[in-house]
Structure 1
Amino acid sequence: MQVSSYAIEKMGFSKYPDDNELPVKFAVQRVYSLQGINFEKESELLKSAVFQFGKQCKVVIADSVNKAANEICGEDYAENEEEWVKEKKGRPPYLLVCFEENEEHILKGGYRQEKEDHILTYDGFKDGKKEIKKWELEELPSIITSLTVHFSEPDLHIKLVSLDRSVYGKTKDDKTLFDLKMTGSMSAFVSRPKSTEEINSSLRKSTNLYSSLDQKTSRHIFMALEEPDRLKQFLYYFLFIERFTHSQFKKIDYDNYAKNMFNIPARIKNVGMEFFKERQLDAKNLSQRFQWCSLLLWNEIDDSDVTSFKELKKTRDLISHGENVIESTLPVEEIRRLALKLLGSI
């Protein structure tokens, strides 16, 4: 339903003439609760360093959302943080992800409320924020995936719970233009204390992993992390493992890997290499390729991981064949652990 000019003006907005131009650059802040860790008591600052993910995105972790926002943007995120925490049901530490657009947008006229330190507009940028939408679709999944991989541990899954999303603009005279949308959720979790140095180390590893990920690799992990349904979670994780295994298998250089792994005697060097290349060509199915990658590529994968994969595949096959599988018994935690371990190995 289209809102009338009269209704917009009754909300406190004034119509500006079209020759009154307002240049704005937009940014988005995403706030997550980092469930599964907390700062050690002796960590005085209770905040991480600021890390760069790509050219336009910065990430920081802190025990306060305003402390995090000030590290990146130089101003508070919430006017009243205590009320914000109650509303969002948030728990520290908080991960703040901030992405800034390169493109400048021009508002010609439009409905505005101009305050001393900020501006409110009403539907003034219908075609704006395209970079933000593209970034959230293509880059944010890789960032969240990278962070989940390197903050999780074999016996502890770290969950990034989305608490809030704020889209805003900055004018040339440093006024903030607000465009806010909120989401929230919460679940129970157990925390493990970490020092600031350990948190910075995990952030550093995450930036390295992020730079090597592509959209196809991280998409299904991200979908699984965001999915509340256990059956869909399991299938998304398995789809990641399947596609990841096939893509990694194609990268195996048998001339080098087979030589080191199988110690082919010099007297049959040529014939031996041909033998292993033929065996590679014979590896068509997922299980065979997973075994080859475990032998030659994935140094962190051990016997228990391969055994786990075989059991997980049996479960996936039962689902594929239409067998009755009880959703509550699906090994979601186990397949998530294996998926994150595989990503952490690259």
Structure 2
Amino acid sequence: MQASSSAIEKMGYSKYPDDDVLLVKFSVQRVYSVQGINFEKESELLKSAVIQFGQQCKVVIADSVNKAANEACGEDYAENEEEWVKEKKGRSPYLLVCFEENEEHILKGGYRQEKEEHILTYDEFKDGKQEIKKWEVEELPSIITSLTVHLSEPDLQIKLVSLDRSVYGKTKDNKTLFDLKMTASMSAFQSRPKSTVDINLSLRKSTNLYSSLDQKTSRHIFMALEEPDRLKQFLYYFLFIERFTHSQFKKINYDNCAQNMFNIPARMSVAGMEFFKERQLDAKNLSQRFQWCSLLLWSEINDNDVTSFKKLKKTRDLISHGENVIESTLPVEEIRILALKLLGSI
């Protein structure tokens, strides 16, 4: 139900005339707790470089959310960081992802509270922030997925836990305009020290992976990374592995791969190649295609990974057939490791 004019005014807003025009450009900041690593003590600055993901998105990691925001956006994120940490149950280091819209929005009049350094508006941009909404659906999943893959290590998987989201605008005279609420969540993880050099390297590798991902590839793994329910997590991860395997299988170039892998003798170069192409056409199911990709494409995948995949598939099949599977025993951590390792193989 929409608030009445009198109710809005009782909240401290004043109605401005239509000839009082504001030009506003919106941005969104997403804050994550990076669980699984921390800065080494000798890393004096305790912050990473600012890394660009595309033309409009910046990413930085720091031991302080305000330090991260100042590096990426030139100003503090929280007015009182100590209180913010208590409220959000935050734990450093923090990943700050900042996306800025290209489009300027025009506000004619409207209900506002104008302070010295910022402006509050009441529901004045119902149709605004479309670029932000589109970016969060289409680009953010690939960014978070890429960062998770390359900040993790084979024996320690990191987790990016969403703590906060802030959408704000900037006016021509550099005043900050607030129009949306913030959200929060939390989790827990084990940490390992990492140098600033290593963190910067991981961030740069993440940009390379991000540029090679499409929305379909990253959507399900992003949903798994964000999902608290273990059953849904497991199914999202498996759905990613399934879709990823089929898409990678289609990219196999047997003229390049099979010759080297199977050492086809020169006397059988034509018939031998035809034989392997026929075997490829026979590979219809997921298990067969996973094996082909492991042999010909994924240099990081080993015997243990294939064994793990077979076990995970049996679990998925039990769920699909309606068998009683205890949620607490689901191998969520194992399937997460395999999914991230597959992405790391690109």
TM-score (norm 1): 0.99
- The answer (yes or no) to whether the contact 2:141–2:218 under 8 Å persists in 1 is yes
SS in 1 for 2:179: strand
What residue ranges of structure 1 are gaps of 5+ in the alignment? none
Aligned length: 346
What residue ranges of structure 2 are gaps of 5+ in the alignment? none
How many angstroms does 1:116 deviate by? 1.3
Q: C-alpha distance in 2, partners of 1:125/1:207? A: 32
Aligned ranges 1:1-346 → 2 under 5 Å? 1-346=1-346
- The answer (yes or no) to whether the contact 1:66–1:78 under 8 Å persists in 2 is yes
Q: AA paired with 1:321?
A: H
Q: C-alpha distance in 2, partners of 1:7/1:204? A: 50
Q: C-alpha distance in 1, partners of 2:112/2:188? A: 42
- The answer (yes or no) to whether the contact 1:141–1:219 under 8 Å persists in 2 is yes
Q: Give CA deviations for 1:311-344 in whole Å, capped at 9, x if unaligned.
A: 1111111111111111111111111000000000
Q: AA paired with 1:41?
A: K
How many angstroms does 1:114 deviate by? 1.2
Q: C-alpha distance in 1, partners of 2:62/2:301? A: 33
Q: Which runs of 4+ in 1 moved over 6 A?
A: none
Identity %: 90
SS in 1 for 2:77: coil
SS in 2 for 1:181: coil
How many angstroms does 1:9 deviate by? 1.2
How many angstroms does 1:76 deviate by? 0.6
Which stretch of the first structure deviates more once superposed, 258-267 or 2-11?
2-11
How many angstroms does 1:187 deviate by? 2.2
TM-score (norm 2): 0.99
Q: AA paired with 1:67?
A: K
- The answer (yes or no) to whether the contact 2:164–2:185 under 8 Å persists in 1 is no
How many angstroms does 1:185 deviate by? 2.1
Q: C-alpha distance in 2, partners of 1:175/1:319? A: 54
Q: AA paired with 2:172?
A: K
Q: C-alpha distance in 2, partners of 1:7/1:236? A: 44
Aligned CA RMSD, in angstroms, stands at 0.8
- The answer (yes or no) to whether the contact 2:165–2:184 under 8 Å persists in 1 is no
- The answer (yes or no) to whether the contact 1:166–1:179 under 8 Å persists in 2 is no
Q: C-alpha distance in 2, partners of 1:88/1:141? A: 22
Q: C-alpha distance in 2, partners of 1:266/1:159? A: 50
Which stretch of the first structure deviates more once superposed, 179-188 or 124-133?
179-188
Q: C-alpha distance in 2, partners of 1:253/1:109? A: 61
Q: C-alpha distance in 2, partners of 1:188/1:148? A: 16
Q: Give CA deviations for 1:239-264 in whole Å, capped at 9, x if unaligned.
A: 10000000000000111111111111
Q: AA paired with 2:146?
A: S
